[in-house]
Amino acid sequence: MPVLNDHALHQLFIDARTRNGWVEETLPESLMRAVYDLTKWGPTSANCSPARFVFIGSAEGKAKLKPYLAPGNVDKTMSAPWTVIVASDPKFYDKIPELFPHNPDAAKWFSGMPDGGTEAAFRNGTLQGAYLMMAARALGLDCGPMSGFDNAGVDRVFFSESGWKSNFLVNLGHGTDKDLFPRLPRLSFESACQVL
């Protein structure tokens, strides 16, 4: 597999920033579908794919979400072209026969865990949320990931029927430099890693 060129690496990692300001524009649903169609290929345990995504682009959807946002997250979320609720399905293992057809009994690996698969759903769903951000960046979008919302309220309003559990939010669009923080440092290899 070839190494990505410097332009791609900068777009995906080095120059990518968490955006708080957004270009006022309308982005099509087809672009959100393209983001998901890349996201879904990221690996998860036994291909369990527990993440569920709610793409909110309408004024009605944003109004439904707004009361559950922390005050500092309201303006940037309301002005973003799209906001994604990254959630997970606690009953994700019901899809294992479809997603892992060579061993449909793998569903029991998760449903039989002492926590009913909650940790696996959270871990793998979080991974998929990160894949969503990288897919969005690969398609030329900026991301504004955040917590800072009432998970229980969002779950009650958006997921009362499905039972999904919200994890974090990601604003998507083309970012501006409004309220952009200076580039913050990262830990060096020596500080964050070990080689054995």
Give all domains of the chain, ordered by start, each with its CATH number.
Answer: 25-177 (3.40.109.10)
| Gap between the Cα atoms of 122 and 164, Å rounded | 11
- pLDDT tens digit sequence for 109-124: 999 999 999 999 999 9
Banded model confidence at residue 104, pLDDT cuts 50, 70, 90: confident
Q: Give CA 67 to chain center in angstroms.
A: 21
Element (DSSP H or E) covering residue 88: strand 82-88
Mean residue pLDDT across the chain: 97
Q: What's the pTM?
A: 0.96
What CA–CA distances, in Å, run from 86 to 11, 61, 65?
A: 22, 15, 13
What CA–CA distances, in Å, run from 107 to 95, 98, 121, 163, 177?
A: 8, 10, 12, 18, 46
- pLDDT tens digit sequence for 141-153: 999 999 999 999 9
Q: Which of 123, 132, 155 is nearest to 39 (CA)?
A: 132
